[in-house]
Amino acid sequence: MKQFLKVAAVAALGLISAGGASAQSALNEILDSGVMKVGTTGDWNPMSLRDPATNSYKGFDIDIMTELAKDLGVEVEFVPTDWKTLVNGVVAGQYHLTGSASISPARMKVAGFSESYISVEMYPFTTEDKADRFDGYDSINNPDVTVATTLGTVFEKNVREWFPQATIKVVEAPARGFQEVLAGRADVFITSNIEGATLTSKFPVVRVTNAEARSPTAIAMLLPQADQVWINYVNNWVKVKQTTGFFEGIKEKWGL
């Protein structure tokens, strides 16, 4: 399988080489340099987590990117980024692709996406000691409620749309909205079912009662918008790995 995917990459470049376009593809650069650069935030548990002591990464995304690099026959280099500059980094060529990111119309204007391999949905959370204050979304949308969120995330956009009457507190990465709630500086945060499951197992936080899931969102890798050769390769890689059960195995490993 690994050899097949590497041969497929070389073949794809051979097809476009006749047209003089190979130098335009990140795929060509990756194969020539032997390094695939991946932008990742390291703050989305259990997708991407950075250990400050060792500067190493682990998580669902990390396993996926490591496998992609392995099939290409290259090394993987994780490039630190944050949510507000995640898209800019791939547009500016600071990395060849990113880890998991929500597919949104705003991002699609300037960047490409791979095939989706997982989806999430959003919920509001609060601490156990404040759980009785809230019952559904309307109970959050009040000026005396402080909702914390992280700048540049899809969560920030959702918070502003769902709770226009609430007091919104925006923090910048590496700070996170849930940390503000745990510290008592805010009352509510929203996050995905994926991260939420991890947080509720580690901290005294709970979903807000009678707050149904919102904004089901497909997740995929961000790629340079104009680089169709690289996009095609990654898309076909995703399809091949889906047929082998690779993604399901990684989901099971990380409890997704």
Are 120 and 254 contacting, i.e. CB atoms less than 8 angstroms apart?
A: no
> 19 pLDDT exceeds 50?
no
- 11 has a pLDDT exceeding 60: no
The C-alpha R_g of the chain, in whole angstroms, comes to: 20
Is residue 15's pLDDT more than 50?
no
Integer Cα distance of 182 and 188 in angstroms:
9
- By mean pLDDT, which of 2-6, 34-38, 92-96 is the weakest? 2-6
23 compared with 208, residue with greater pLDDT: 208
Percent of the chain with pLDDT over 90: 82
Residue 13 reports pLDDT greater than 70: no
Exposed / middle / buried, residue 191 (Cβ in 10 Å: 0-12, 13-18, 19+): buried
List of residues 6+ apart from 202 with CB closer than 8 A: none
Mean pLDDT for the stretch of residues 75-87: 95
How many degrees, rounded to 5, is the angle at CA 193 between CA 187 and CA 199? 55
Query: For position 97, what pLDDT does the model report?
Result: 98
The tens digit of pLDDT for each residue in 164-196 reads 999 999 999 889 999 999 999 999 999 999 999
Query: In terms of pTM, does the model score above 0.85?
Result: no
Give 230-244 pLDDT, tens digit per residue: 999 999 999 999 999
